[in-house]
Amino acid sequence: MQRQHRRLWGRWLYVAAALYSNVAVAGEQSWKTIAMSDGISLQYPPTWWPISVSGKRVDLLSSKGGAEGVVIQQNQAEIITSVVARSSSSSFDEFIASNLGNQTVLSREEIASAGPAGCSRLHQVISREEEGPGAYVANTGIFCEIGTARVIVLLRNWENDNQQKHYQHMALRMARSIRAAQASATPRGP
């Protein structure tokens, strides 16, 4: 009886693992890809709302809506992705510092790169800034160095939002999806 129970349990685990991997693969495929300037592309979750899209910047909200004059409401997040041409006069660390301004830095972390076509460096900085008396926004900035460009994936949410870890996971996944266009092996003619 125990042997039969173990066999059934083992089959159930096998089926559960197969279903989970199929859902994970489907989730990977469902993300949308957007081409930005400087030959950069990235993926973003299809459930997020694009509120502004251009070659240099993509601005997404985690949910639709919000009060007029307020970019994010409670239990809502914003991810802004910007492409900046690499300056020969500033290092990657100087670039990060110049984008932090007067924010209070809470943590810094170097993140493993995403492979040969992805960012050569990824650096995450978590900070906070005061939006009003006693109201703080948590910022998770993921800085990418790729080819002749630098990309910033900036997550903004209200401090102490219980969805912050989920939002950070989305922002990191977006940063890891950044790719440089592959140069064509043969030039295109007229």
For the chain, the domains span: 1-30, 32-180
Distance CA(27)–CA(122), nearest Å, equals 23
**pLDDT tens-place string over residues 83-117:** 998 877 889 999 999 999 889 999 999 998 777 78
Asked if the model's pLDDT at residue 66 lies above 70, the reply is: no
Contacts 24+ apart (CB under 8 A), 32-38: 33/177, 34/58, 35/181, 36/81, 36/83, 37/83, 37/149, 38/83, 38/85, 38/147, 38/148, 38/149
Q: How many CA atoms lie within 13 A of 81 on its CB side?
A: 29
The pLDDT, as a whole number, for residue 24 is 43
The pLDDT, as a whole number, for residue 136 is 93
- Higher per-residue pLDDT: 154 or 8: 154
CATH class of the domain defined by 32-180: alpha beta
**pLDDT tens-place string over residues 18-35:** 444 334 444 455 999 999
Task: Give the pLDDT mean for 116-137.
Answer: 92
The pLDDT, as a whole number, for residue 161 is 94
pLDDT bracket for residue 131 (50, 70, 90): confident
Distance CA(174)–CA(26), nearest Å, equals 16
